[in-house]
Amino acid sequence: MTDVWEERKKGLEEEYFHRKEQEALEKARQRLAAEELERQRAGSVLRCPKCDARLEEVSFQEIQVDRCTGCQGVWLDPGELERVTARETQGWLTHVWRRFGR
């Protein structure tokens, strides 16, 4: 009778440690997945300065500008504003741009 109880205790103990091991493995998997996601976000993906969403390149008058997928803001690289305003002669943007010395 004692052997049966000893075997039962041993079986429960093994089951406990197996369950703890599985929980630890799952936590490690979740941590690795979170780290990988963070690496992908920090990689070559441009982020919006306003809301930190991803920026996508869109074509505007044959000029590639960055548009936010979150707040829909438009972000220009150096020289792109000059290229946009150079194409129009009577628009409000050209008047503002010329007024400030450009």
pLDDT in tens, 25-56: 999 999 999 988 877 766 666 788 888 888 88
This prediction has a pTM of 0.44
Q: Taking a C-beta distance cutoff of 8 angstroms, is the pair 99, 84 a contact?
A: no
Q: Taking a C-beta distance cutoff of 8 angstroms, is the pair 54, 48 a contact?
A: yes
The arrangement of strands across the sheet holding 55-60 comes to: 55-60, 63-68, 74-75
Q: Chain centroid to CA 19: how far?
A: 34
> In the prediction, which pLDDT does 101 show?
58
What residues form DSSP beta bridges with 74?
67
Q: Which residue has the higher pLDDT, 39 or 9?
A: 9
Q: Chain centroid to CA 93: how far?
A: 32
> In the prediction, which pLDDT does 43 show?
61
